[in-house]
Amino acid sequence: MTTLSTELALRRTFAIISHPDAGKTTLTEKLLMFGGAIQMAGAVRARGEQRRTRSDWMAIEKERGISVSASVMTFEHEGLTYNLLDTPGHEDFSEDTYRTLTAVDSAIMVLDAAKGIETQTLKLFEVCRMRDMPIITFINKVDREGREPIDLLDEVEKTLALDVCPVTWPIGMGRDLKGVYDLVNDRVIMFDPGRGDHIAAAVVDAPLDSPKLDEAVGASAAARLRDEVELVRGGYPEFDLESFRAGHLTPVFFGSALKTFGVAELLRGVGRLAPSPLARKTNTRTVEPTEEKVTGFVFKVQANMDPNHRDRIAFFRLCSGRFKRGMKLKHVRSGKVMALVNPVFFLARERELAEEAYAGDIMGIPNHGQLRIGDTLSESEDFHFLGIPTFAPEVLRRARLDDPMKAKQLKKALDDLAEEGVSQVFKPVDGSSWIVGVVGPLQFDVLTTRIESEYNIRAGFEDGGFVTARWVAAEDAKELEKFTAANKSNMAEDRDGSPVYLARNSWQLGRAQQDFPAIKFTATREQH
Ligand code: G4P
């Protein structure tokens, strides 16, 4: 039996962040191909394409199986195990993405060579930065005309305040693309435009000053490359593993996901540079992945995978230890012990490994609603992992029911779906109908469709007069009582009974904050 630390050293758990259309789906598919998981790659592609229009997206969302199997993808390459966590591309689902990012140890940031950093890239990067997450940059689509590579690097450096260190360098771009130069090993990875995939691209060992380089890519491309590399080596810091691991420096790879070009170098880069599973903080102490006792947390819940059974899958990141199927873990929030007899693993190959998992791995735990986002499971100690936030929703609407006799069922449906963490339900203290909050308005369409198809209830969402929500708390319980009494028509409770202030406009929120300085208003709420 291998030791725990050997297993951990072989694991990389990461996500891909990008702006829609930069090529995340294509890159995911190609990474899986290297991991021998081609059959899954098809599922990823289908999803990427169908996401493009709203109705198609909803149809695919109903096909829960596909989106779940593609949410976590475990594959192997050159002796290492990679857990790739997918994040929804649409910005209306960014909350889900933020939480998925709490479950990884590093990320690949994909940029379109013609566009550089875009709005969604920036937002997601900022989430990674809050956690000092190591980021590897992949500049994609070099098979098309793009911006000057140096220009792109400067943009990353300035916009993200991040040191950049190219690992590969494009030799030409678009129609003139000859290959990429591997700056670490002094060799050329040749690009052949006639081939759609470069799984085994021709590689020419060619130190910069050797005539072999001219032979391989032509004299003028070689001359240009020499000039550029001189600039790059003089202008950017040398690679420093510590600085990368601390989130201050990003190694940069160039390539084309579509042509499977430069992807192997990127994957090897993840293997060589990205950290193995990292320690995680709890409310009492930091948990090291090498600890023998099994611990972990739920970062995502997917309800109603099978409409005939009201079960759900909790996505669980193991933070320490070696998990064995059938193990009993304590559900810290309720104090109950759960036997994990049928966890789902996301391994594309080697099914026999499904009996065991290690820190850094992701398992799906089927359950009937006991497991919520942010919950900790622990083999011995009672603590909970920190840093899995609930965000204040940005759009609020009031639930409207066509058949008032179905109020109870609607409550159940709203609660169930809120458990997935994408929507939130607030019960106004004045007894009026539920207020549902989401991060992006597209969510209301998804909710309406799912409530109808999964619960057989016709409901809708209408303007409830509120624009934003804040959790409220005070050190002195009397202050909170005073605040609640003075703001009855704005007060509601979340699913845990925590008080929430719903504001009709930003002026009203500002006024409430001014009038009640003893009250703490928060836009995110840590679970528990
Ligand atoms: P996303 O998940 O980040 O949203 O992006 P996705 O992979 O779906 O790619 C967006 C578009 O960019 C797709 O084209 C895809 O084929 C293209 N693309 C991805 N990587 C590359 C690349 O390296 N080079 C070039 N030239 N194109 C690339 P589409 O026309 O929107 O879709 P499709 O019909 O090709 O699937």
Using alpha carbons, list the distances in angstroms from residue 163 to 121, 245, 268, 456. Answer: 17, 12, 21, 53
Which is the closest atom of ligand 1 to the Cα of 18? 3
Answer yes or no: is the ipTM higher than 0.95: yes
Q: Does 368 count as an annotated binding residue?
A: no
Q: Measured from the CA of 257, which atom of ligand 1 is nearest? A: 23
Whole-model pTM: value is: 0.81
Place of tokens 């695919």: 60
Q: Which CATH architecture has domain 4-72+82-273?
A: 3-Layer(aba) Sandwich (3.40)
CA of 255 to the centre of ligand 1 (A): 13
pLDDT at 1: 61
pLDDT of residue 45: 46
* Residues in a beta bridge with 83: 13, 74
Pocket test for ligand 1, best of 17, 21, 86 (most atoms within 8 A of CB): 21
Measured in degrees and rounded to the nearest 5, phi and psi for residue 389 equal -85, 155
pLDDT value for 66: 36
Q: Please calculate the CA angle 125-15-185 and round it to the nearest 5 degrees.
A: 90
Residue 22 known to bind ligand: yes
Distance in Å, CA 22 to ligand 1 centroid: 7
Dist. CA 80 → ligand 1 center (Å): 27
The CA distance from 344 to 342, in Å, is: 6
Strand, helix or coil at 231?
helix
19 marked as binding residue? yes
The rounded distance, in Å, linking the Cα atoms of 269 and 167 is 9
Residue whose CA is closest, atom 21 of ligand 1? 258
What spacing in Å lies between the alpha carbon of 5 and ligand 1's midpoint? 38
- Is the fold of 280-378 the same as that of 389-526? no
Residue closest to 365 by CA, chosen among 353, 377, 349: 377
Question: Per-domain residue ranges for the chain?
Answer: 4-72+82-273, 280-378, 389-526
CA of 61 to the centre of ligand 1 (A): 21
pLDDT for residue 148: 95
Residue 25 assigned as binding residue: yes
Q: Whose CA is nearest to atom 17 of ligand 1?
A: 23
Place of tokens 């925590």: 498
Choosing from 258, 263, 266 the residue with most ligand 1 atoms within 8 A of its CB, the one to mutate for a pocket test is 258
Q: 280-378: which CATH topology? A: Rossmann fold (3.40.50)
Residue 337 annotated as lining a ligand binding site:
no
Ligand 1 site: residues with CB under 6 angstroms? Answer: 18, 20-26, 48-49, 89, 140-141, 143-144, 256-258
Cα–Cα dist 206/176, whole Å: 19
Distance CA 5, CA 219 (A): 49
Q: How far apart are CA 134 and CA 112, in angstroms?
A: 20
Q: Identify the pLDDT of residue 446.
A: 85
- Nearest CA among 235, 223, 234, 239 for reference residue 178: 223
CA angle, residues 211, 215, 218, in degrees to nearest 5: 110
What SS3 state is found at 1? coil
Q: How many CA atoms lie within 13 A of 231 on its CB side?
A: 12
For residue 265, the surrounding DSSP H or E stretch is helix 263-273
Say which DSSP state 116 is in: B
What is the C-alpha separation between 449 and 294, in angstroms, rounded? Answer: 39
The protein residue with its alpha carbon nearest to ligand 1, atom 36, reads 49
Query: Which ligand 1 atom is at minimum distance from the Cα of 28?
Result: 7
Phi, psi of 114 (to 5 degrees): -90, -15
Tokens of 334: 């309720």
- Give the Cα separation of 300 and 280 in Å (integer): 17
Per-residue pLDDT 10s for the chain (528 aa) are: 678 999 999 999 999 999 989 999 899 988 988 876 544 434 444 444 433 333 333 444 444 333 444 578 888 899 999 999 987 656 655 677 888 899 999 999 999 999 999 988 988 898 898 889 999 999 999 999 999 999 999 999 999 999 999 999 999 999 999 999 999 999 999 998 776 666 777 888 889 899 999 999 999 999 999 999 999 989 999 899 999 999 999 999 999 999 999 999 999 999 999 999 999 999 999 999 999 999 999 998 887 665 555 677 889 999 999 999 899 999 999 999 999 988 877 765 443 345 789 999 998 888 888 898 889 999 999 999 998 776 677 889 999 988 888 999 999 999 888 887 778 999 999 999 999 998 778 788 888 988 998 889 999 999 999 998 999 999 999 999 999 999 999 999 998 899 999 999 989 999 999 999 999 998 877 655
| CA 378 to each of CA 4, 60, 302, 417, 523: distance values in angstroms, whole numbers, following the listed order | 17, 35, 21, 26, 29
Which residue is it, tokens 């013609």?
114
Topology of domain 389-526, CATH = Alpha-Beta Plaits (3.30.70)
Residue 309 among known ligand-binding residues:
no
Q: Ligand 1 centre from 482 Cα, in Å?
A: 56
Using CB atoms within 10 Å of the CB of residue 91, give its burial: 0 to 12 exposed, 13 to 18 middle, 19+ buried.
middle
Compute the distance from residue 235 Cα to the ligand 1 centre, in Å: 32
Per-residue confidence (pLDDT) for residue 306, from 0 to 100: 58
